[in-house]
Structure 1
Amino acid sequence: MKRIILFFAVIGLTTLSSCDGDTGPRGPQGLPGVGDGDTISEVFELQNVNFQLNQNNEYTIFQELNPVIFDSDVILIYRMSGTINAQTPIWQLIPRTLFLNEGELDYDFDFSAVDFTIYAGGTYNLASTPQFIQNQTFRIVIVPGYFSKGNNLDFNDYSAVVKAFNIDETNITVLNKK
């Protein structure tokens, strides 16, 4: 009896595994895989923005992100600290501490998937140095999460980041365009 059941089981499996039907519809495109070359770093710019003094006596710049970023992505923010000439800005990664005659000035930021805030704080009244809190320009670079694994890129070097992500600086989105 066991042999007959085994025999029918083998025949049934052979018959069912050799069936072939019509190919179903193609499924939706999935997300790009790690290191597939399809993931694109996004770059945004805030031009000539002023820090606002908030109710906590902090100087901040708040900006929503559109589109939102993935939980695994990170943001790098660079402050334009000067220019070599009209076509060559000097970018400094923040957080950054500046040591001035008035005291220390710190730039910092935080971010979520939907927004970011840039902070300016110091050991003195920042209103006495408006050149550091008014008409500031920042570049915001969204770094895909996979990129941080095993990479030795110097994120302090804006030019190296631009090169590593194949960023076309002629297509940078200005967030505060009037």
Structure 2
Amino acid sequence: MKKFLPFLFLAFVSLFIFSCDNDDNVVGDGDTYSKVRDATGTFTSADSYTLSMDLNISNTDVVLVYRRVNNLWQSIPKTYYLDNVTAPNTGRELDYSFDFNTQEVNIRTSANFNQASMSSAEANQYLNNQTFRIVLVPASAAKGTNTVDTSDYNAVIKYYGLNDSNVSVTKAN
């Protein structure tokens, strides 16, 4: 029996040695590398209030888009409710949304009013010289709702280990 106990102990310890590996913190699907890119531009009626940015996107990527608001990144889609100074409570809504395919990302504004009628202050705040941050992440990890809150830019950057200190900027349209 004394000779049997060391073998039993060795078998028990080896079970833990072989069942542990360090690959648990790999985020991704193996062929997608997370990327961060900025796009700047002005929404105009000539471009149907759409900013287009050429970008090579794998079909296994998920695209997340954030709009710069002061010093923060705000997830889009997003709806703003605007007051009309001359006619309060008019229910004016301005929406930011985006779509993408394997070659480009399109960011657009739409409204339940004529965007050309915006005051210059509103146009400066919502249409002119807007900056968006586009983040490409692997689809497999982004699907799970318990993995990362994709509406929180800082959580996404931390989760995917992205360096956002020197992001390349592309002029949209």
| TM-score under structure 1 length normalisation | 0.67
User: Percent identity, aligned pairs only?
Assistant: 40
Residue matched to 1:168: 163
- Return the alpha-carbon distance in structure 2 between the equivalents of residues 36 and 111 of structure 1: 20
Amino acid at match of 2:136: I
Shift of 1:80: 0.7
Q: Which amino acid in the other structure matches residue 53 of structure 2?
A: Q
Structure 1 equivalent of residue 52 of structure 2: 62
Structure 1 unaligned spans of 5+: 1-32, 83-88
Alignment of 1:73-112 (within 5 A): 73-82=61-70, 89-102=71-84, 103-112=92-101
Root mean square deviation of aligned Cα = 2.3
Determine if contact 2:34/2:137 at 8 Å carries over to the other structure. Answer: yes
> Which has the higher relative contact order, 1 or 2, with Cα contacts under 8 A spaced 6 or more apart?
2
1:118 and 2:107 aligned: yes
TM score, norm. by length of structure 2: 0.69
In the superposition, relative to structure 1, how do residues 93 and 70 fare at CA in structure 2: closer, same or farther (>3 Å)? same
Matching of residues 8-157 of structure 1 within 5 Å: 35=28, 39-47=32-40, 49-54=41-46, 58-65=48-55, 68-82=56-70, 89-102=71-84, 103-127=92-116, 128=118, 129-131=122-124, 132-152=126-146, 153-157=148-152
Residue-by-residue CA offset, 1:49-88 (whole Å, 9 max, x unaligned): 1013247xx31101111xx121121101000122xxxxxx
Runs of 4+ in 1 over 3 A off after TM superposition: 33-39
The residue matched to 1:105 in structure 2 has which SS?
strand
Q: For 1:155-177, what per-residue CA distance to the aligned partner results, in whole angstroms no more than 9, with x for missing partners? A: 11111011011111123121229
CA contact (8 A) 2:29 2:139 kept: no
In the superposition, relative to structure 1, how do residues 169 and 156 fare at CA in structure 2: closer, same or farther (>3 Å)? same
Unaligned runs of 5+ in 2: 1-25, 85-91
Read off the aligned partner of 1:120 and give its amino acid letter.
Answer: T
Letter in 2 for 1:52: T
In structure 2, distance between residues paired with 1:43 and 1:123: 32
Q: Contact (CA 8 Å) 1:40, 1:165: kept in 2 or not?
A: no
Q: 1:114 to 1:37 in 2, by over 3 A?
A: closer
Name whichever structure is richer in helix by fraction. 2
